[in-house]
Every structure is written in C-alpha cells, then in structure tokens.
Amino acid sequence: MGFSPNFSAMNDYLEILFTIIQKPILKAGLYVIGALVTAKLADWIITRVLSRLASRTASTIDDRIIQILHRPIYYSILFMGLGISIQLFQLPEIITFVLIGLFKSAAIFIWSIALFQSFMHFINWYSRHKTFGESVVQPHTLPLFDNIGKVVIFLVAVYFMLISWNINVTGLLASTTILAAILGFAAKDTVANLFAGFFIMADTPYKLGDYINLDGGERGFVKQIGLRSTRIMTRDDIEITLPNSLIANSKIINESGGPKEKERVRITISVAYGSDIDQVRSVLEGIAKNSENVCKNPEPRMRFRSFGDSGITLQLLFWIEKPEDRGRITDELNTAIYKQFTEENIVIPYPQRTIHVKTQDSLKISK
C-alpha cells in the first residue's frame, strides 16, 4: 500500500498559517525579529569583514571610522524595523506618530555623535600626517575645527529632527531669522565674543599651554580656548576666564612664542662711581654662569648701560628655558649678587641729593 499525500489537508494548514501570519501582532513581531537579525548581520559584516580589510592598510583612520560607524548602522536598521512594526499594530495615530518620531530622533542623535567623532578623528589624523605649510589644518587650529564641527553638526541634526516631527522648516527659518536678528542685537557682547573666538583660533596669537601677558596685567598659562572665552591659569593656581572680545582688543605678549620657548631676562643694577668695571663684570657673569637654571648657550653677559645720578647703571643679560621660571631665577640671582657684592666690597649706591638751605640773613645779604 503506497503513501498518497493529502493535499487538501496541506492546503488547509497553509491557509491557517497564512491567516496567523497576517495577524498584526505576529506580523509586527516578525518585522522586529527580521530587523534584529539584519542589524546583527550588518554589524557582523562591518566589524569582522570590513575591519579585517581595513587592518591591512597602513593608515589607522579607516579602522577607527569603521569602529565608530558600525553602531549607528546597527541602530538605524533596528529602529526601521521597530517603526514598521509600530505601524502594523494599528495604534491611535498620535501614539504611532510619537513613537516613530522618537525612533527617528534617537537615530539622528546617534548619527550626529558618530559623525562628529569621525570628523574629529579625521582632522586629528590629518594634522599629524599632513606636511603643513600654508594648510589651514594645523595642530593649533584644531580647537577652531572642533567648535565649527560641533556647530554645523548640531544645526544639521536639529534640521533633520524638525523634519522627523513634520515641522514646517521654511516658516520656522523665517521666524528664526527675525528672532536671531533681535537676539543678536540684544546679546551683542556675546556675539562679539563668539566672532572674536573664531578670529583668535584662526589667527592663533597663542595656543594651549602658552605663557601670555595681557594689558590688564593678567599673566599665566593658556588652559582652554573656547568660542566665548579663554581660560588662563596663573602662577598662583587661580583660573581667570577672559571674554574673547577683551583679548582680541588687547596687546598680547606671548612669552612662549618665537622659534624657541627660551626667554632672555635682564637684571638692572647700579654700582658706585669708582668701582672696578672689570671686577663687576666678572662677578655678575660668573654668578649667572654658575647657576644651574641659566642657559649656557647663549652665554650670560653684562652691559654698561648709562651714567646715573648716583652711580653707573649695568645690566646682566641671561637666558632661561621657560618664561614661567623668570621670577624664581631672578630671585636666586639677585640674592647671589647682593651677597657677592658684599664680599667683594662693591658698593651699591644710595640715591644722593644735595640740599642748599637759604636763611633769612643770607637773603638780606644777597639783596
């Protein structure tokens, strides 16, 4: 007796299965599972296959960008499946709209962070490997690109988020333009600081870590350069925040600028008339040369500057490695000079004035 398939029963089973699949809940669940499997598959292809191919290249930028972008791709596929499944549930229109809007906003937020990280990684890589010259991308201009990248990516993300919530962008842009003009006039100081921040980052009168002096007497290390302000750490470990518009209109002395960070220091001193100039020169130059904190090249030297009212004016010139050490090293050498002058009987003159006193008798005689 042979086996004869029951096609009628099989068709019944298929119809039942098809009917079950057509149910919204099950169909939505299949979409979620399909999106999850597709997202996992795409993530595996990117992290395994593409990463393996990128590891064979000499550059590291492709490896890093692949590591950054695989997560947004994964979540985009997953959110797409969730969005389709939400629509299949046939929920109230407002709930469906809100949930899909949240999925889109989350995807835009994740992509914004990934794009900014990729952008900054590319800029850092470019600044390290590019032979500079006239190129605008250099290590000291990275803060400028960092801030510009944040602003541009933020504006683009806001634009797409507004579209995802079906907001009329054209009308909003017109209203925003008017509002921006009003706010710009009301917050002109803040706008001035922002523009000054861009110009400071582009012109680079100083960079992070430089030791600067300003007209107002502020002096210290540049700790942070922002769009609105610059932060300086003084030698007293006090942080000063200065508006960029104030700095842009000030005279800036960058003691760390120039071809080298070395700085020349001058110590001015007077000795009495009649002093042995050669002896004084030997003492001053010897003190500077014997100090461990004074540079050996260029060598310290003394200069005869002028004939003063009470003595002759001399200057000891020497170089130090870092400008922030000037106060400490000047104190060290001043102390040594005073002690050595005392031992060598070299006189530091006091200011001298001759006073003529006229009495009443002398005034009568003169008449």
More confident residue, 221 or 146: 221
Query: Helices in the chain by DSSP H: which ranges?
Result: 7-21, 24-44, 51-54, 61-88, 93-129, 142-164, 169-186, 188-203, 244-248, 277-290, 326-344, 360-366
Predicted local confidence at residue 42, as pLDDT: 81
User: Residue 199: is its pLDDT beyond 50?
Assistant: yes
Q: What pLDDT digit, counting tens, does each position of 112-149 carry? A: 999 888 888 877 777 666 554 445 556 656 666 777 78
- What is the rounded distance in angstroms from the CA atom of residue 84 to the CA atom of residue 32? 8
Section 200-216 average pLDDT: 82
CA–CA distance, 100 with 38 (Å, rounded to integer): 19
Specify the higher pLDDT residue, 128 or 260: 260
All structural domains of the chain, each given as residue ranges with its CATH number in brackets, are 12-163 (no CATH), 191-254 (2.30.30.60), 263-344 (3.30.70.100)
Q: 4-18, 118-132, 222-236, 325-339 — which is least confidently predicted?
A: 4-18
Gap between the Cα atoms of 346 and 340, Å rounded: 8
For 306, half-sphere exposure in the C-beta direction (CA atoms, 13 angstrom radius) is: 4
Main-chain dihedrals φ then ψ at residue 22, nearest 5 degrees: -75, -10
Q: Report the pLDDT value the prediction gives residue 2, as an integer from 0 to 100.
A: 47
The model's pLDDT over 18-60, given as tens digits with 9 standing for 90+, comes to 555 555 666 667 777 887 888 888 888 877 777 777 677 767 7
Which one has a higher pLDDT value, 365 or 73?
Answer: 73
Residue whose C-alpha is closest to residue 252's, from 322, 204, 202, 190: 204
Give the model's pLDDT for residue 285.
Answer: 94
Residue 241 pLDDT more than 60? Answer: yes
Residue that wins the pLDDT comparison between 316 and 11? 316
Q: What band does 164 get if pLDDT is binned at 50, 70 and 90?
A: confident
| Weakest mean pLDDT among 50-54, 319-323, 341-345 | 50-54
How many residues comprise the chain? 367
For the ranges 62-76, 231-245, 306-320, 324-338, the lowest mean pLDDT is seen at 62-76
What mean pLDDT do residues 294-321 have?
92
Range from 56-65, 86-95, 204-213 carrying the lowest mean pLDDT: 56-65
Q: Distance (Å, rounded) from C-alpha 33 to C-alpha 21? A: 14
For 174-197, what is the mean pLDDT? Answer: 67
Instruction: State if pTM tops 0.85.
Output: no
User: Bigger pLDDT: 29 or 167?
Assistant: 167
On whether the CB atoms of residues 197 and 147 are closer than 8 A, the answer is: yes
**Alpha-carbon gap, residue 113 to 75, rounded angstroms:** 13
Model pLDDT, residue 34: 80
Mean local confidence (pLDDT), 273-277: 92
Classify the C-alpha dihedral 106-108-111-113 as positive or negative.
negative
**What was the pLDDT predicted at 134?**
46
- Res 314: pLDDT: 94
pLDDT recorded at residue 329: 94
Residue 347 scores a pLDDT above 60: yes
pLDDT surpasses 70 at 246? yes
In the predicted structure, residue 208 carries a pLDDT above the cut 90: no
